[in-house]
DNA sequence: TGTATGGATCTTTTT
DNA sequence: GATCCATACA
């Protein structure tokens, strides 16, 4: 577009032609299809830097959205390194973080209290349970989890209760509960994650001045991981992007793995159509992996029908072949993996550059045991995170009550914790009293009588006293006072296992401390004083926004409209800001973080990461692809994308393994190797064990005769002690022999290929002309020999 | 009011 | 196998 500029700008120096083209696109809507390892984040950040360096806009005109705090932080860091710009003046953050920021600035118009608090998933569930109890909802017919799923789903689709399509009595009831839950949240001044998005969206949609203001302001909207946006987020973007704005969406449809939580890959196609996108650029140059790995990924994903189409390429050579291993048992698989890891470590591969991936968390146990016994340090991702721990939630509940006494969820969490003689009956009485007057539990306390009333009154008095005493204290002091006065510290001191919890509570003090000191407590933008990103920016010149003075000024008159309640100059108290921070950023995973350790995680949580060596384990039908996803074709495609993500995590070496049997949910399951093996290019693979089984037809499914789950009594560790020798011995006694013809009621006539096991465990691989090869348990399958 | 026992349930996860 | 949850009991 601007060749001279492009050639001159040092920003563009290290970009390939595709990346450069993307970065320097004109101010119009664009979709960047960025394959795995193609420098997506780099393009996104350089685009922002480039826009700013052109001098036509200032930092205040940029809105950049990501899905995780981690991604947002990284973007800010990189941007800060690229340009001498105050990144804090920009709206860079997660969807939820930005919506929070928006609602904090316009709380009045959004019909929220200025102190509104955010419910995380746990809080939401307990709030729903409370609604159900208060309204006598049958939790047999309507499990709370299901309702939570339903409510979140509605919000993700942008649907208020009155907009949900109702078909039948059950729907009607669900919507009714949804409404009751909404009322309760409103009454208590809390919002769940979905609500943050939905309410922001509605305010933008319905309030013309507000919408116009932000439209005028955010000239450039950039979105990361666009394939993961849900319906509501898409609508939010659409309402924000008016005339003259440009939306720069970066995504990879092949890495869309969150449909189960509302993500719509279709948003990419919709975007192109509805925004009349004229610029689409594919980033297909991969800088991560060798070509055997990339070929595998490409070949696999080509089996998906619904894709926009993209092929990764690399300048690096073929590299090592992809190693495939078949184990007899999950334990043997783990043992083999541990052995390989030891070799790698011996060859100076850093442990942190080795990742073991699996489809579901339940699979980590065997792997952990293996590594543990071998004395290899490892780190498991995906456990409880810091702010989700019970003791932290308790402490936060106290803090939230200081901020907002009407927060009934927090009230109930700590009213009797540590125990202070307020049991279920007292609480019930209190809830009745509160319901009668429509007040919060806190306010209803004075209506209760008797011993229960005394205890409750003492509790409320304690909270209220704490609130007064902490007035004007620093955040650290507030938390110290709270920890003492609430009795939490004393309680855990008395508890046998309390030491670690106390440590965590102390860590909370540290977290608060660093939250306050770290470059003002607005590092993550969420906690910035309203003034700084609300009204002030609009009226001041770009240079006072922290824009580097050497950059040209914006040649545009200041917008004339200032949103009403952003104009108060009001700031969030450090405590409120910290609580918001705790809700929006659940904290690091627990860990031996920083330690040199092998990385264990699900494929989902590996997205966005890369390692020199990757093991993908448990590649078995029913597990990966998961049998729950096989119900529909879309589900299978998502599983395949998941596999694609798994493969593309590896830089140098990739291992794929599966096991013939696996202990799952206390039962031994016989598993056929994943169909994904058949979708990989043979030339790129190296079979470490004889390639014997193969997955047959696609008619594999529920009730199709394959006995996936059966209880067995043998101790698998003893039966298959050696990982090197898969048992391929035939067992007699059932009268079948390889080569025999048999008849099956569902699959018809077939030929016995292989036999193994004995007694109840005996099974046979049988080739059916129309249904392919199947492993059948002889004690279950109805087989008749055919002469 | 706190504790013990049985029973159901078990993809994937961020905010 | 393990954990969370609800109900029954001391």
Tell me how crowded residue A650 is: count the other CB atoms within 10 A of its CB: 30
Judged by C1' against the alpha carbon of A93, the nearest nucleotide is: B15
Cβ contact A140 with chain C strand, < 7 A? no
Judged by C1' against the alpha carbon of A583, the nearest nucleotide is: B15
* Average pLDDT of the segment spanning A21-45: 94
User: Which positions of strand C lie within 7 Å of protein CB atoms?
Assistant: 1-2, 6
Nearest C-alpha neighbor of A508 from the set A485, A488, A532, A522: A488
Judged by C1' against the alpha carbon of A666, the nearest nucleotide is: C1
Cα A663–A668–A672 angle (5° rounding)?
A: 95
Cβ contact A388 with chain C strand, < 7 A? no
Pairing state of beta strands A709-710 and A667-670? antiparallel
Could you tell me which residues are beta bridge partners of residue A379? A599
Distance from C-alpha of A252 to C-alpha of A275, rounded to nearest angstrom: 18
For A430, the 3-state DSSP assignment is helix
Q: Which helix (H) or strand (E) holds A251?
A: strand A246-251
Distance from C-alpha of A483 to C-alpha of A261, rounded to nearest angstrom: 37
pLDDT at position A547 over 60: no
Cβ contact A10 with chain C strand, < 7 A? no
Dihedrals phi, psi of A66, to nearest 5 degrees = -125, 180
* Most confident region among A26-30, A667-671, A695-699, A726-730 by mean pLDDT: A26-30
The verdict on whether residue A334 carries a ligand-binding annotation is: no
Higher pLDDT, A159 or A499: A159
Residue pair A704/A746 in contact by the 8 Å Cβ criterion: yes
- Joined tokens for residue A125: 């569930």
Distance from C-alpha of A603 to C-alpha of A642, rounded to nearest angstrom: 7
Distance A239 CA to C6 C1' (A): 46
Cβ contact A666 with chain C strand, < 7 A? yes
Cβ contact A590 with chain B strand, < 7 A? no
Instruction: Give A422's pLDDT tier (boundaries 50, 70, 90).
Output: confident
Judged by C1' against the alpha carbon of A667, the nearest nucleotide is: C1
pLDDT at position A631 over 50: yes
Residue A260: exposed, middle, or buried by beta-carbon count in 10 A (0-12, 13-18, 19+)? exposed
Cβ contact A360 with chain B strand, < 7 A? yes
Distance A493 CA to B3 C1' (A): 21
As a residue count, chain A comes to 787
The verdict on whether residue A246 carries a ligand-binding annotation is: no
Dihedrals phi, psi of A765, to nearest 5 degrees = -95, 125
Cβ contact A665 with chain B strand, < 7 A? yes
Question: How confident is the model over A329-343, as pLDDT tens digits?
Answer: 999 999 999 999 999
Of A20, A40, A47, A640, which is the active-site residue? A40
The verdict on whether residue A39 carries a ligand-binding annotation is: yes
Instruction: Give A734's pLDDT tier (boundaries 50, 70, 90).
Output: low
Cβ contact A673 with chain B strand, < 7 A? no
Strand B contacts (CB < 7 A) among A residues 98-127? 120-121
User: Which positions of strand B lie within 7 Å of protein CB atoms?
Assistant: 1-2, 10-15
A225 an active-site residue?
yes
- What is the reported pLDDT for A284? 94
Question: How confident is the model over A461-485, as pLDDT tens digits?
Answer: 999 999 999 998 999 999 999 999 9
Of A224, A524, A621, A638, which is the active-site residue? A224
Instruction: Give A554's pLDDT tier (boundaries 50, 70, 90).
Output: very low
The verdict on whether residue A605 carries a ligand-binding annotation is: no
Could you tell me which residues are beta bridge partners of residue A664? A667
pLDDT at position A522 over 60: no
A40 an active-site residue?
yes
Cβ contact A665 with chain C strand, < 7 A? yes
A524 an active-site residue?
no
Judged by C1' against the alpha carbon of A664, the nearest nucleotide is: C1
Instruction: Give A755's pLDDT tier (boundaries 50, 70, 90).
Output: low
Distance from C-alpha of A618 to C-alpha of A524, rounded to nearest angstrom: 38
Instruction: Give A780's pLDDT tier (boundaries 50, 70, 90).
Output: low
The verdict on whether residue A35 carries a ligand-binding annotation is: yes
Residue A201: exposed, middle, or buried by beta-carbon count in 10 A (0-12, 13-18, 19+)? buried
Distance A361 CA to C2 C1' (A): 13
Higher pLDDT, A567 or A703: A567
Instruction: Give A668's pLDDT tier (boundaries 50, 70, 90).
Output: confident
Residue pair A419/A122 in contact by the 8 Å Cβ criterion: no
Of A123, A225, A254, A585, which is the active-site residue? A225
Distance A705 CA to C4 C1' (A): 33
Distance from C-alpha of A261 to C-alpha of A153, rounded to nearest angstrom: 8
Residue pair A515/A479 in contact by the 8 Å Cβ criterion: no
Higher pLDDT, A723 or A453: A453
- What is the reported pLDDT for A782? 55
Question: How confident is the model over A180-236, as pLDDT tens digits?
Answer: 999 999 998 999 999 999 999 999 999 999 999 999 999 999 999 999 999 999 999
The verdict on whether residue A696 carries a ligand-binding annotation is: no
- Joined tokens for residue A199: 């309410």
Strand C contacts (CB < 7 A) among A residues 458-477? none
Of A649, A653, A669, A774, which is the active-site residue? A649
Exposure class string for A716-740: b at 16+ Cβ within 10 A, else e: beeebeebeebeeeebeebebeeeb
Judged by C1' against the alpha carbon of A129, the nearest nucleotide is: C5
SS (H, E, C) A314-333: CCCCCCCCEEEEEEEEHHHH
Distance A384 CA to C4 C1' (A): 15
Q: CA dist A144 to A24, A86, A147, A151, A195, Å?
A: 50, 45, 5, 10, 18
Distance A666 CA to B13 C1' (A): 25
Question: How confident is the model over A344-393, as pLDDT tens digits?
Answer: 999 999 999 999 999 999 999 999 999 999 999 999 888 778 888 888 99
Tell me how crowded residue A343 is: count the other CB atoms within 10 A of its CB: 10
Judged by C1' against the alpha carbon of A420, the nearest nucleotide is: B1
pLDDT at position A730 over 50: no
Residue pair A364/A600 in contact by the 8 Å Cβ criterion: yes
What is the percent of chain A with per-residue pLDDT over 90, rounded to a whole number? Answer: 49
Nearest C-alpha neighbor of A518 from the set A471, A574, A569, A593: A574
Distance from C-alpha of A353 to C-alpha of A611, rounded to nearest angstrom: 5
* Mean pLDDT rounded to a whole number for chain A: 81
Judged by C1' against the alpha carbon of A139, the nearest nucleotide is: C6
Distance from C-alpha of A73 to C-alpha of A76, rounded to nearest angstrom: 5
Cβ contact A129 with chain C strand, < 7 A? yes
Cβ contact A421 with chain B strand, < 7 A? yes
* Average pLDDT of the segment spanning A102-113: 94
Q: Which residues contact A554 (CB under 8 A, 6 or more apart)?
A: A56, A57, A58, A61, A542
Cβ contact A27 with chain C strand, < 7 A? no
Higher pLDDT, A651 or A722: A651
* Average pLDDT of the segment spanning A258-283: 94
pLDDT at position A739 over 70: no
- What is the reported pLDDT for A491? 85
* Average pLDDT of the segment spanning A488-502: 82
Q: CA dist A378 to A335, A596, A601, A651, Å?
A: 15, 8, 11, 20
The verdict on whether residue A701 carries a ligand-binding annotation is: no
For A65, the 3-state DSSP assignment is strand
Cβ contact A359 with chain B strand, < 7 A? yes
Q: CA dist A201 to A176, A204, A364, A652, Å?
A: 23, 5, 40, 44
pLDDT at position A762 over 70: no
Distance A286 CA to B10 C1' (A): 38
pLDDT at position A238 over 90: yes
- Cα torsion A575, A581, A584, A589: sign: negative
Exposure class string for A496-534: b at 16+ Cβ within 10 A, else e: eebeebbebbeebbebbeebbeeeebbbbbbbbbbbbbb
pLDDT at position A124 over 60: yes
Distance A22 CA to B11 C1' (A): 37
Distance from C-alpha of A367 to C-alpha of A166, rounded to nearest angstrom: 46
Judged by C1' against the alpha carbon of A144, the nearest nucleotide is: C5
- What is the reported pLDDT for A216? 92
Distance from C-alpha of A109 to C-alpha of A210, rounded to nearest angstrom: 10
Higher pLDDT, A588 or A505: A505
Of A45, A117, A184, A255, which is the active-site residue? A255
The verdict on whether residue A535 carries a ligand-binding annotation is: no
Cβ contact A426 with chain B strand, < 7 A? yes
Distance A574 CA to C3 C1' (A): 37
């Amino acid at each position: 577009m601007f060749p001279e500029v492009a050639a001159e700008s040092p920003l563009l120096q290290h970009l390939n032609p595709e990346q450069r083209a993307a970065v320097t696109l004109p101010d119009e809507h664009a979709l960047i299809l960025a394959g795995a390892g193609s420098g997506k984040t780099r393009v996104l950040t350089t685009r922002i830097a480039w826009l700013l360096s052109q001098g036509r806009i200032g930092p205040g005109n940029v809105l950049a959205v990501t899905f995780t705090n981690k991604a947002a932080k990284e973007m800010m860091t990189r941007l800060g390194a690229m340009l001498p710009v105050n990144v804090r003046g920009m709206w860079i953050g997660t969807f939820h973080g930005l919506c929070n920021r928006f609602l904090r600035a316009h709380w009045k118009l959004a019909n929220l209290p200025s102190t509104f608090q955010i419910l995380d998933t746990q809080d939401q569930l307990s709030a729903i349970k409370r609604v159900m109890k208060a309204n006598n909802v049958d939790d047999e017919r309507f499990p709370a989890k299901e309702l939570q799923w339903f409510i979140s789903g509605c919000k993700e689709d942008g649907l208020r209760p009155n907009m949900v399509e109702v078909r039948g009595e059950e729907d009607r009831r669900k919507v009714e509960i949804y409404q009751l839950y909404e009322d309760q949240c409103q009454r208590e001044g809390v919002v769940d994650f979905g609500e943050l998005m939905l309410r922001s969206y509605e305010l933008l949609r319905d309030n013309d001045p507000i919408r116009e203001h932000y439209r005028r302001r955010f000239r450039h909207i950039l979105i990361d991981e666009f394939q993961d946006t849900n319906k509501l987020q898409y609508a939010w973007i659409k309402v924000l992007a008016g005339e003259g704005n440009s939306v720069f969406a970066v995504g990879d449809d092949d890495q869309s793995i969150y449909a189960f939580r509302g993500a719509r890959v279709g948003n990419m196609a919709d975007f192109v159509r509805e925004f009349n996108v004229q610029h689409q650029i594919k980033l297909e140059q991969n800088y991560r992996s060798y070509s055997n790995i990339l070929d595998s990924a490409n070949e696999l994903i080509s089996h998906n029908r619904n894709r926009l189409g993209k092929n990764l390429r690399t300048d690096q050579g073929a590299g090592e072949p992809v190693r495939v291993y078949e184990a007899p048992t999950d334990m043997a698989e783990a043992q083999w993996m541990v052995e390989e890891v030891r070799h790698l470590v011996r060859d100076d591969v850093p442990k942190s550059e080795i990742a073991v991936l699996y489809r579901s968390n339940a699979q980590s146990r065997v792997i952990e045991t293996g590594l543990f016994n071998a004395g290899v340090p490892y780190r498991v991702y995906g456990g409880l995170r810091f702010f989700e721990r019970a003791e932290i939630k308790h402490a936060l509940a106290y803090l939230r009550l200081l901020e907002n006494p009407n927060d009934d969820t927090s009230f109930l969490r700590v009213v009797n914790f540590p125990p202070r003689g307020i049991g279920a009956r007292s609480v019930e009485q209190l809830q009745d009293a509160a319901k009668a007057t429509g007040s919060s539990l806190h306010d209803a306390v004075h209506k209760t009588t008797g011993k229960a009333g005394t205890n409750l009154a003492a509790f409320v008095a304690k909270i209220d006293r704490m609130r007064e005493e902490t007035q004007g204290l620093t955040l650290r002091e507030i938390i110290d006072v709270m920890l003492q006065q609430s009795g939490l510290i004393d309680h855990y001191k008395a508890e046998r296992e309390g030491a670690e919890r106390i440590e965590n509570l102390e860590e909370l003090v540290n977290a608060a401390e660093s939250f306050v000191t770290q470059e003002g407590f607005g590092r993550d933008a969420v906690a910035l004083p309203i003034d700084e990103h609300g009204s002030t920016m609009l009226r001041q010149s770009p240079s006072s926004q922290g824009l580097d003075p050497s950059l040209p000024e914006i040649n545009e008159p200041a917008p004339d409209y200032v949103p009403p309640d952003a104009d108060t100059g009001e700031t969030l108290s450090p405590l409120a800001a910290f609580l918001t921070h705790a809700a929006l950023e659940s904290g690091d995973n627990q860990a031996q973080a920083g330690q040199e350790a092998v990385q264990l995680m699900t494929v989902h949580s590996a997205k966005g990461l890369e390692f020199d060596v990757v093991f993908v384990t448990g590649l078995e039908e029913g597990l990966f692809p998961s049998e729950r996803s096989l119900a529909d074709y879309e589900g299978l495609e998502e599983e395949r994308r998941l596999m694609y993500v798994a493969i593309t995590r590896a830089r140098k070496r990739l291992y794929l393994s599966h096991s013939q049997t696996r202990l799952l949910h206390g039962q031994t399951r016989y598993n056929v190797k994943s169909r994904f093996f058949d979708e990989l290019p043979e030339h790129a693979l190296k079979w470490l064990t004889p390639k014997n089984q193969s997955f047959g037809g696609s008619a594999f499914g529920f009730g199709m005769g394959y006995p996936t789950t059966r209880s067995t009594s043998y101790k698998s560790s003893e039966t298959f002690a050696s990982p090197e020798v898969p048992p391929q011995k035939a067992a007699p006694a059932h009268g079948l022999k390889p080569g025999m013809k048999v008849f099956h009621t569902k699959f018809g006539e077939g030929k016995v290929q292989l036999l193994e096991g004995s007694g109840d465990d005996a099974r046979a691989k049988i080739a059916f002309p129309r249904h392919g090869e199947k492993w059948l348990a002889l004690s279950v399958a109805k087989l008749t020999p055919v002469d």
